[in-house]
Amino acid sequence: MKTTKSKVALVTGAAQGLGYVICGSLLKAGYSVVVSDINFANAQQAAQELDKSGKKAVSIKLDVMSKEDFSAALAFTVETFGHCDLLVNNAAMTPTTPLMEISPEEFSQVLDINLRGNFLGCQVFGQYFADNNFGRIVNLASLAGQMGGTASGAHYASSKAGIMTLTKIFARQFADVGVTVNAIAPGPVDVPSVREKVPADKLEHIINNVIPVKALSDPTFIGSMVVMLAADEANTVTGATWDINGGIYMR
């Protein structure tokens, strides 16, 4: 049965960027949040900024390459808040290395962090949710995984395409036990990392000539979508990828 307690979420890669914004959206929606990141100091700082009281947001070090880390993070979440209702798989590498310059080692690293990390999170938290007959998983995919992207590397795009497939597989696995699994596929988002990685002139070209609505996506809307997909009423929404791309890719 669904818990009547206040909701609890863990977000990976949450110390900055989109993960940080998602944590803020969840806190505003009444969630308690575990801010996880491979950089524990940054996760601590983020949690303190998000929640001055220290009661609703806590931090933990989580390397998404490690299944043991996911298990430890789940145990920490349950020990701290009594239960967990939502996992947001957000952590990712976002390199923009030109196609013919990607080394085998870099390709494997990006696939391991982005795709394998997503798989491990779904595996560990999905089983916990299934055992409790309720849970929500939201995976961050990307426009890049649908049509190659506008500035990202081929390894990044490939990993995000894999995430959309994993979303369907895990959604089917848990469909009859009260657990939903969905993905969000943003196009270019107005976060510092995008402006840091994409040269200003190229970004301006993308906004004015590639994105039909001529604007970067608002990260707070993505946070709102996470909250919506995690709602009790979203129990029949599963296995879907939700596009937020300014009209670049329509289907």
pLDDT tens per residue across span 191-225 = 988 888 888 998 999 999 999 999 999 999 999 99
The answer to whether 245 and 217 have CB atoms below 8 angstroms apart is yes
Whether 84 shows a pLDDT value over 80: the answer reads yes
Cα angle 135, 125, 61; round to 5: 125
Summarize pLDDT for 48-72 with one digit per residue, the tens: 999 999 999 999 999 999 999 999 9
pLDDT over 70 percentage in the chain: 98
Burial 194-211 (b: 16+ CB within 10 A, else e): beeebeeeebeebbeebb
Q: CA 33 to CA 230: how far, in whole Å? A: 13
Instruction: State residue 149's pLDDT score.
Output: 80
Phi, psi of 187 (to 5 degrees): -90, -155
Report DSSP state, residue 185.
Answer: E
Residue 3 scores a pLDDT above 60: no
CA distances (Å), 152 to each of 10, 38, 102, 146, in order? 26, 22, 12, 12
Residue 4 in this model has a pLDDT that exceeds 70: no
- Band the pLDDT of 2: cuts 50, 70, 90: very low
Ordered by where they begin, the domains of the chain are 8-243 (3.40.50.720)
What average pLDDT does this structure show over 160-189? 98
Residue whose structure tokens are 């490690």: 66
pLDDT digits (tens, 9 = 90+) for 9-50: 999 999 999 999 999 999 999 999 999 999 999 999 999 999
Q: Return the amino acid letter for 70.
A: F
Nearest CA to 92 out of 28, 27, 174, 22 is that of 22
What's residue 153's pLDDT?
94
Residues 139-156 have a mean pLDDT of 93
Distance of CA 23 to the CA centre of its chain: 10
Give the per-residue pLDDT at 1: 36
* Active-site position among 20, 31, 128, 156: 156
What is the model's pLDDT at position 152?
87
pLDDT tens, position by position, 126-141: 999 999 999 999 999 9
Q: Is 208 helix (H, G, I), strand (E, B) or coil?
A: helix
pTM for the predicted model, two decimal places:
0.96
Does the annotation mark 156 as catalytic? yes
Question: What mean pLDDT is reported for the chain?
Answer: 96
